[in-house]
Structure 1
Amino acid sequence: MIEGGNGRATTIKLAEHRVFSDSFKPLYNQGMSLVEEAAEYLDGEGRIEAKGLTRAGAALYAAESMRLTTRLMQLASWLLLQRAANSGEMTREQVAAEKSKVRLDTHSPQEQADGWSDLPESFQDLVMRSVRLQDIVRRMDEEIYGGAPAAANDADLYSHNPVFEQITLLKTAFGHR
């Protein structure tokens, strides 16, 4: 805390300072680079590597790919909102209202999932880095805007998602639940 010009103590939030200053640029670049890297991987090398997986591994890969994509799109949305506030395109209040639509809690079973170790290492690395970035952003978000973001569960995120419905049908068809 520092003493403001009015004689009252003012709390300085380091995360808020980081987001609303030039030091935000490296975090923004890291997030956007990860989005681009994941898209390239999933559309290229990942597609090739996924063909060599077992049925169970392919189902896990498909589910985790969807989670990875969802997580990265939510992170990109948050980062873009913060950049808009940082550049003066949006007020902090506008950002706070819009960011309430962003979910920063897309979980991955990772090592706990059957078949996780069978997934390509490049893919595992992308998932782990996206989870770490999500954790950093979620902590910053909580410090800046207060409270935890709205919780989501897989049923909420995928209840009307045709890809998830198809994966569920495939798992059922192959006896994997």
Structure 2
Amino acid sequence: MSEQVLNTVSFAGRAANSSQFKALYSEGMALVEETAAYLDGPGRAASKVLPRLATVLYAAESMRLTTRLMQMASWLLLQRAVNNGEMSRDQVVVEKSKVRLDGFNVDRMAPGWGDLPEAFRDLVERSLRLQNRVALLDREIYRPNETIVPDNENSVRAQLDLLRTAFSPS
């Protein structure tokens, strides 16, 4: 049985080098700056008056928040570098392997979560939404561009199966 290479259209590849990426990049970098300003200013003051349990949670979530944002900023900078021709795709793939875009979930049911400052919780929520968007774009850009389909399989059916797999609840 022979196989053929099925080429698919990569919308993410185009989006990564578009005005949408520039907007995502700007949003990500602005969130990094906004978070730094909050944590160094109003957040520092707010954390001093929190109940003990919330103080510990604030410290832990602050570290997760800053780590999450730095990982996303690293990814955005790498993608910008490849878009601008400053790095090759292969160089970015090597460097990108050091960037972690998952595993920074938040337990909103944790004791003390409701006691955290609303502005801080908002920054956490916004960073999680941004993280999801960046992780999705990363998967779309850096997945293999080709899918092998046996010659005897219907190409349209193969694409429909891929769509069902991608959008079916797991």
TM-score (norm 2): 0.78
Distance 1:9 1:146, change over 3 A: closer
Residue of structure 2 equivalent to 1:33: 30
Residue of structure 1 equivalent to 2:138: 141
- CA drift of 1:106 comes to 3.9
1:126 pairs with one of 119, 123, 126 = 123
- CA drift of 1:112 comes to 1.9
Alpha-carbon RMSD across the aligned residues, in angstroms, is 1.5
4+ residue stretches of structure 1 with deviation over 6 A? Answer: none
Residue of structure 1 equivalent to 2:47: 50
CA contact (8 A) 1:64 1:108 kept: no
Residue of structure 2 equivalent to 1:92: 89
CA distance in 1, matches of 2:18, 2:7: 18
* 1:103 maps to 2:100: yes
Identity of aligned residues (%): 59
- CA drift of 1:17 comes to 1.1
Consecutive unaligned residues in structure 2, runs of 5 or more: 145-170
CA contact (8 A) 1:74 1:102 kept: yes
Consecutive unaligned residues in structure 1, runs of 5 or more: 1-7, 148-177
* 1:72 maps to 2:69: yes
CA contact (8 A) 1:57 1:116 kept: yes
- CA drift of 1:108 comes to 3.3
TM-score (norm 1): 0.75
